[in-house]
Amino acid sequence: MHDTVWDVMVVGAGPAGLMAAITCARGSLRVLVLEAKEKIGAKLLISGGGRCNITNLKVSERDYQSGQSRTVRNILRAFPPERALDFFKELGVTMVLEEGTKFFPKDQSAKTVLNALLQEADRCGVHMERSRKVNSISCHQNLFQVQGNGFQYNSKTVIMATGGLSYPGTGSDGTGYELAKKFRHKIVSTIPALTPLTTDDPDWKSLSGITLPVILMLEVNNQEIASSAGPVLFTHRGFSGPAVLDISGAWLRCHAKEKKLRVNFLPEKNETALRREFIEALKEHPKWSWKRFLALYFPDRLVEVLLRKLDMPPGLQIIHTSKEEREDLLKGLLHFSLQVTGSLGYEKAEVTSGGVDLAEVDSKTLESKRCPGLFFAGEILDVDGRIGGFNFQWAWASGFVTGMTISKKRGSP
Ligand SMILES: Cc1cc2nc3c(=O)[nH]c(=O)nc-3n(C[C@H](O)[C@H](O)[C@H](O)COP(=O)(O)OP(=O)(O)OC[C@H]3O[C@@H](n4cnc5c(N)ncnc54)[C@H](O)[C@@H]3O)c2cc1C
């Protein structure tokens, strides 16, 4: 085995690596996958709350943060969501559409997705080795030597699919970046993305467990520079839920001193409609307290915090408030400031923003411009998507494209 020259060596058996390996093996290439962990697919198994949001109905480069949107577009077009769905259908995984755009396996189990990938890899003859952490890759005369503790293999091509730095417990600890740097690849500085944000404000923390739909706005000097919509979840550490995760990357990337995270607690209502409802309340229920009135919209615990933060006594009757006070309340509900102190970082990040610079890989094949025969797939690249199956779609598409490129070059596709 150690003397064998493999056609393709895939480093990392996450979604991108497995897709790349299967694609190469279907093209009759001899493929060896080296995975650092004993257990394969740890991240895939915890994805989507254990249900694996496999892809999205509509995916475009606009759903991603990256240095080169043209490259992202090329790769996504070569393997769009329909092809991902066909691929999994062929492997016997039935999908269901949820919330209008998100695809999950019908049995709600990420394990079904992982098992399908592993069975297909096995069926195609992919050779898989676990507990094989690669710590050195070199290339001499078009032959790659891939090494780790107690092993060394040779291969004609290498696909690096080692992921980023997010959820390091699942195996993605950033070693891939170091390996890429040895080939003079630039790494666009990384930050955690899709990660919960923290606060030290006891009021917000006291709301732990409450979830509600909101719009979040990141503002610098009162200018909105990013926004997200969806549920926010209050936690004992701060803020989580899709809307928060989606804006976390922009928040962490922004170093402006004056940055503020604002929340619209009533995303379904505009200012005029809400003002009308306040006036109606004044006419119909003048003796109601604001606490009673706001309980029509929000859970009691949230009402108490909102009124406290707006300096309004909870028992204050609607009739005893001035127009200005009503306006302050209205503006507050639609434009509340959340005090954010930081984030839960890579430990709880669903994805890493930044990575191998797309300017140094071929925009159609993801082959290294520094070292022919070396490819990159998945999260290791400077591409990160928003919540909703976009990151897996990037993994499937980039894995497929690298695998197909090598198959075409080296064998029959
Ligand atoms: C909690 C959570 C939930 C998520 N839910 C979703 C979701 O529902 N939908 C979605 O689209 N995305 C989701 N994501 C994001 C998605 O899981 C990732 O974008 C995706 O797994 C990236 O795939 P990858 O193959 O590039 O990297 P990874 O999945 O990180 O896999 C990399 C693999 O490489 C191995 N490796 C690393 N270094 C080495 C080395 N030196 N030698 C050998 N092997 C190595 C690692 O052990 C790992 O197995 C979620 C992420 C998390 C953390």
Question: Same structural domain for residues 58 and 126?
Answer: yes
Nearest CA to ligand 1 atom 22: 379
> How large is the average pLDDT for residues 120-137?
97
Range of the domain at 153: 5-193+351-410
216 plus 130 within the same structural domain: no
Choosing from 293, 325, 344, the residue where a domain stops is 344
Closest Cα to atom 4, ligand 1: which residue? 47
Give the model confidence (pLDDT) of 296-352 as tens digits.
999 999 999 999 999 999 889 999 999 999 999 999 999 999 999 999 999 999 999
Give distance in angstroms: CA of 43 to centre of ligand 1: 5
Q: Are residues 82 and 215 in the same domain?
A: no
387-400 pLDDT per residue, tens: 999 999 999 999 99
Tell me, yes or no, whether 11 and 89 share the same domain: yes
Output the residue whose Cα is nearest ligand 1's atom 10. 389
Mean pLDDT for the stretch of residues 61-83: 97
- Helix then strand count (H, E) for the chain reads 13, 21
Question: Going by CA atoms, what residue is nearest to atom 5 of ligand 1?
Answer: 47
Q: How confident is the model over 340-353, as pLDDT tens digits?
A: 999 999 999 999 99
Instruction: Among 344, 366, 384, identify where a domain stops.
Output: 344
Query: What would the mean pLDDT of 141-162 be, rounded to a whole number?
Result: 97
**Same domain, yes or no, for 56 and 203?**
no
Residues 220 and 80 in one domain: no
pLDDT over 90 percentage in the chain: 94
As given in the structure block, the two tokens for residue 219 are 């503002």
Q: Is the four-CA dihedral 292, 298, 301, 303 of positive or negative sign?
A: negative
**pLDDT-based confidence at 38, cuts 50/70/90?**
very high
pLDDT grade, residue 3 (50/70/90)? confident
In the chain, the number of structural domains is: 2
pLDDT of 314: 84
Ligand 1 atom at shortest distance from the alpha carbon of 167: 53
Q: What is the pTM of this model?
A: 0.95
Instruction: Assess contact for 154 and 145: CB atoms under 8 A.
Output: yes
pLDDT tier, 413 (very low <50, low <70, confident <90, very high otherwise) = very low
Q: Name the residue of 172, 351, 402 whose CB sits within 8 Å of the most ligand 1 atoms, as the mutation to test its pocket.
A: 172
Contact 395, 41 (CB under 8 A): no
Q: What is the DSSP-derived secondary structure letter of residue 149?
A: T
- Rounded to the nearest angstrom, the gap between the alpha carbon of residue 265 and the centroid of all alpha carbons in its chain is 24
Determine which helix (DSSP H) or strand (DSSP E) holds 73, and give its type and residue range: helix 69-78
Residues with CB under 6 A from ligand 1: 11-17, 34-37, 43, 46-48, 52-53, 133-134, 161-163, 166-167, 171-172, 175-176, 350-351, 378-379, 389-392, 395
- Ligand 1 geometric centre to CA of 20 (Å): 14
On the question of pLDDT at 67 being above 90, the answer is yes
Regarding whether 258 and 373 lie in a shared domain, the answer is: no
- Using CA positions, which residue lies closest to atom 6 of ligand 1? 47
Domain boundary among 296, 320, 344: 344
CATH number for the domain that contains residue 375: 3.50.50.60
Q: Which of 9, 47, 160 to mutate to test the pocket of ligand 1 (most atoms within 8 A of CB)?
A: 47
Q: Ligand 1 centroid to 111 CA: how many Å?
A: 15
124 and 66 within one domain: yes
Same domain? For 340 and 247 the reply is: yes
Lowest mean pLDDT among 34-48, 84-98, 212-226, 315-329: 315-329
Q: Are 75 and 366 in contact (CB under 8 A)?
A: yes
Q: How far apart are CA 302 and CA 297, in angstroms?
A: 10
Q: How far is the CA of 14 from the centre of ligand 1 (A)?
A: 5
Per-residue pLDDT band at 411 (split at 50, 70, 90): low
Q: Whose CA is nearest to atom 35 of ligand 1?
A: 12
Q: How many angstroms does the Cα of residue 397 sit away from the middle of ligand 1?
A: 14
Average pLDDT over residues 8-25: 98
> Mean pLDDT, to the nearest integer, of 194-209?
97
Cα 275 vs. chain centroid, distance in angstroms?
Answer: 37
Q: How far is the CA of 379 from the centre of ligand 1 (A)?
A: 7
Radius of gyration of the chain (CA): 25
pLDDT of residue 98: 95
Say yes or no: 29 and 135 in one domain. yes
Q: Are residues 51 and 165 in the same domain?
A: yes
pLDDT for 2: 62
Q: Are 156 and 371 in contact (CB under 8 A)?
A: no
Inform me whether the pLDDT recorded for 376 exceeds 90. yes
Whether residue 90 is found in the same domain as residue 171: yes
Ligand 1 atom at minimal distance to the Cα of residue 398 = 26
pLDDT on residue 410: 77
Q: What percent of the chain lies above the pLDDT cut of 70?
A: 99
- On the CB side of 183, CA atoms within 13 Å amount to 27
Q: Does residue 267 have a pLDDT over 60?
A: yes
Residue 295 region, left (φ>0) first, then alpha (ψ -120 to 50), else beta?
Answer: alpha
Ligand 1 mean position, distance from CA 97 (Å): 23
Opening angle at CA 384, ends 378 and 389, nearest 5: 80
The mean of the pLDDT values for the chain is 95
Q: For residue 1, what pLDDT band results from cuts at 50, 70 and 90?
A: low
